[in-house]
Amino acid sequence: MTLKAGVIGLGNMGGGMAATLAGKGFDVSGFDLSPAALAQAESKGVKPVADRTQLIQSVDILILSLPKAEHVESVCLGAGGINEGGRKGLIVVDTTTSTPEMSRKVAAELAKNGIAFIDAPVSGGPKGAATGTMSMVIGAEDADLARAMPVLEGMSGTRVHVGQCGAGNVAKIANNMLAACHLISTAEAVAMAARAGVDPEKLLQGLNAGSGRSGATQVMFPTWVLNKAYDSGFTMGLMRKDVGLASDLADSLDMDLPLSRVVAQLWQASSETLADNEDFCAIVQRTDGKLYGHGE
């Protein structure tokens, strides 16, 4: 049986996922509050649906790409949402970076109506979504994951099943905490070396051949920082949200994580000079404004 897929949230990530699936021959429909997003998706082979309830009722697998946990709760459990309109056997795949608590809450409620819920937050940015190369960390029951796998394989390059529902968001929160830390620590290391006379691009070559390499040195700095492009498609506001999720998770576990606490403070303080809609890589400008482009 060919699965009919639906996507709720056709922004930078959801729109790319929907277009990728459509390009691979999947029957894909999409909903978004933005007429422009619907039109953009339609131009790439996605069937636009103006009524969310209609979409929920017409698909076998429903992919969510939403800003925050509260949006997931509203779409899943709110009036006119999935819990009311979804039919038994529907699979919901939530790619939002949400909270493990929300994933488990939603999964428990949907299960009462025979609807499966998988938390599968993604990494790779808009480019990864548009090319089907993004990675997923997945929290799911084995049987639910097996049913969803054809669609997940069509929209991602790497999938890691890390545990039951909620585990995907735990893993993604840990990943984003590291990314937030690496970006700042790399900015400091590069600024120090530059002040000491080492060319930043040459330094990156050395770092990436050694044990200090990371996503910041291998992707963020060469792609968006050193060229001062700052156009990753991921915003300061979203990263601040993710860092806050990490802090909340640590607090809920009664853990004192000194380095993570300092990193979180640096990201929150950055709102003094960097608006939520600016690129998340712009955080480096607070380390060295001249080197990284701020104030020039």
| Residue 163 Ramachandran class (φ > 0 left, ψ -120 to 50 alpha, else beta) | left
CA distances from 93 to 3, 149, 250 (A): 13, 11, 25
Listed residue (202, 6, 199) closest to 94, CA to CA:
6
Q: Enter the tokens of residue 268.
A: 């929150």
13 CB-contact burial (10 Å; exposed 0-12 / middle 13-18 / buried 19+): buried
Pairing mode of beta strands 91-94, 116-119: parallel
Catalytic residue among 172, 202, 228, 241: 172
Listed residue (194, 153, 201) closest to 288, CA to CA:
194
Query: Has 172 been annotated as catalytic?
Result: yes
CA pair distance 145, 225, nearest whole angstrom:
37
Listed residue (162, 167, 156, 160) closest to 124, CA to CA:
156
Which residues does the annotation mark as catalytic? 172
